[in-house]
Structure 1
Amino acid sequence: MRNEPLHAYSLHQRAFQDKRSIYYLLTKEHGVLHGIAKKGIPQFAPLTLFATGKKSLKTLQQVNIATTVPSLVGQQQYAALYVNEITLKLLPVEDSVPIIYEQYNQTMCHLQQPLDLQQLKLVLRRYEYVLFNELGFAIDLEFDSEQLAIDAKANYRFAADRGWVRIDEESGDSNDHLSQHVETLTGDQIIVMRSGIDEQSLDSWSLVHRQLVDHLFDYQPLQSRILWQQFHRYQ
């Protein structure tokens, strides 16, 4: 690309030289993009810029804040850091993801508003939902791991690599030893999830998404999650 205009958000940065940094951007036009620019580009604000370069590391110029937004503080800031971390680590480089970009933009707008913890979780779950679906990790809410219809009266655990695993409580399913140590959902709760992410289904979606994130990151701790836990521990 040569002097190509882009719309972007800064997901992360690291020091490069005295006056410049390497930036990891989410762009509307090319998805995740890596580039070098002067220090001082803010996070969580919509940007316009120009990018040049044939290699993976672009030169970024004329970087401007497209719209002035309030600074994120408290739990909103930690939530935004979490969104940035999973976005950067899960998306391929220079692969256009317009739907994810639009959802990211909406998420940042929501995080700039006063939110209680319940509202904040709804914002995060909805972003995760779009991110996972666009990356091919959509969760089947119709059938279990054996391709049988979800039974409203049965109990299930979610396995990220298999889907919904039915737990036979009456026989004490000895073949599924993990079922004794993993949180479960009823078929009724799974069926409610089909209506989308709302206050009624929020806890169920939080359980499932947490397990999917852990699986996708090979059960390695997320830095943003550690910061989130520390923030709430000292409140």
Structure 2
Amino acid sequence: MRLSNEPAFVLHARPWRETSLLVEVLSANHGRLGLVARGVQGPKRQVLRAALQPLQSIRFDAVQVGELARLVSAEATDVAPRLGGEAMLAGFYLNELTLRLAPRQDPAPDLYDAYALARARIGAGDALGWTLRRYERDLLDALGFGFDWHHDGDGAPIDPAARYRLDPEFGPRRLLSDRGHGDRSTAATGRALLALADDSAPDPEDQQGLRRAMRGVLSHYLGSRGLKSWEMLAELGRVTARRETPDPAGSS
């Protein structure tokens, strides 16, 4: 099958044999695809290599043969966001999560649109946590794993004052007052779930619980192997905590 002038976003690229790259893209009409870009080394191929960097928007031609497609040509269609610090880590997370959960050769136009929007928001400097929660919601919906965020798994309206655990199969489950502390630590407030349903940013105090609740759902579908970006975020948190801890030797 020939793919012509296909819009896509580059998710990942790694060396393939001696002079080639294996490039994973999220395409507009064919979902996630693996492309083999042959002979990309050398000064004459610099423009092509630049177009195949993660987060780059491209149009490409390829020939699909089995699981992988042979890349014929590709060109950048815009300037990829120039990210640093936490924004760069958010971009890495966006790509890694999509790469891990989106199946190959399964058209997902809603996911493509959601990715484009999240990429633009990160590049524009929007609030990173809320941008990523919205993308997680949209990714789950696009892949058929989403919830009715206005109701719990029994069909009852979400209570803003209650707390909920997100069951990947059942949906939001309301926590009772006698539940253990462990359940509450991974629960989201009803306010946060309704904010997500209405695409309206929750209060800052509700965002951490929403992040932990969403991570529990994503972990279910990722399986035993988590994300490298989660490990990087955890390490960043540890480094930040060490920097913010007063030095006992310097306090006297």
TM-score (norm 1): 0.83
Q: Report the equivalent of 2:231.
A: 226
Secondary structure of the structure 2 residue equivalent to 1:96: coil
| Residues 143-194 of structure 1: CA deviation (Å, up to 9, x unaligned) | 434444445555433322322333332xx36xxxxx4312234555544544
Secondary structure of the structure 2 residue equivalent to 1:68: coil
Question: What displacement does 1:141 show?
Answer: 3.2
Q: Report the equivalent of 2:25.
A: 25
Task: Give 5+ residue unaligned stretches, structure 1.
Answer: 174-178
Provide the rounded CA distance (Å) in 1 between the counterparts of 2:119 and 2:67. Answer: 27
Q: Is 2:176 aligned against 1:161?
A: no
Q: Report the equivalent of 2:212.
A: 207
Q: Report the equivalent of 1:134.
A: 142
Secondary structure of the structure 1 residue equivalent to 2:201: coil
Determine if contact 1:197/1:205 at 8 Å carries over to the other structure. Answer: no
Secondary structure of the structure 2 residue equivalent to 1:42: coil
Q: Is 2:122 aligned against 1:123?
A: no
Determine if contact 2:191/2:202 at 8 Å carries over to the other structure. Answer: no
Determine if contact 1:193/1:204 at 8 Å carries over to the other structure. Answer: no
Task: Give 5+ residue unaligned stretches, structure 2.
Answer: 42-48, 241-252
Q: Report the equivalent of 2:16.
A: 16
Question: What displacement does 1:30 show?
Answer: 0.7
Q: Report the equivalent of 2:53.
A: 42
Equivalent residue letter for 2:131: V
Provide the rounded CA distance (Å) in 1 between the counterparts of 2:27 and 2:81. Answer: 21
Provide the rounded CA distance (Å) in 2 between the counterparts of 1:54 and 1:141. Answer: 40
| RMSD, matched Cα | 2.5
More helix per residue:
2
Task: State which drifts further: 143-152 or 22-31.
Answer: 143-152
**Residues 2 and 123 from structure 1, CA distance in 2 versus in 1: closer, same or farther, beyond 3 angstroms?**
same
**Residues 192 and 67 from structure 1, CA distance in 2 versus in 1: closer, same or farther, beyond 3 angstroms?**
closer
Specify which of 35, 59, 63 is matched with residue 74 of structure 2: 63
Q: Report the equivalent of 1:176.
A: none
Determine if contact 2:13/2:54 at 8 Å carries over to the other structure. Answer: no
Determine if contact 1:156/1:166 at 8 Å carries over to the other structure. Answer: yes
1:81-160 map, 5 Å: 81-115=92-126, 119-151=127-159, 154-160=162-168
Provide the rounded CA distance (Å) in 2 between the counterparts of 1:88 and 1:46. Answer: 16
Q: Report the equivalent of 2:246.
A: none
Determine if contact 1:125/1:197 at 8 Å carries over to the other structure. Answer: no
Provide the rounded CA distance (Å) in 1 between the counterparts of 2:73 and 2:190. Answer: 53
Equivalent residue letter for 1:5: N
Provide the rounded CA distance (Å) in 1 between the counterparts of 2:8 and 2:191. Answer: 41
Residue identity over aligned pairs, in percent, reads 24
Determine if contact 2:13/2:23 at 8 Å carries over to the other structure. Answer: yes
Q: Report the equivalent of 2:6.
A: 6
Provide the rounded CA distance (Å) in 1 between the counterparts of 2:222 and 2:3. Answer: 35
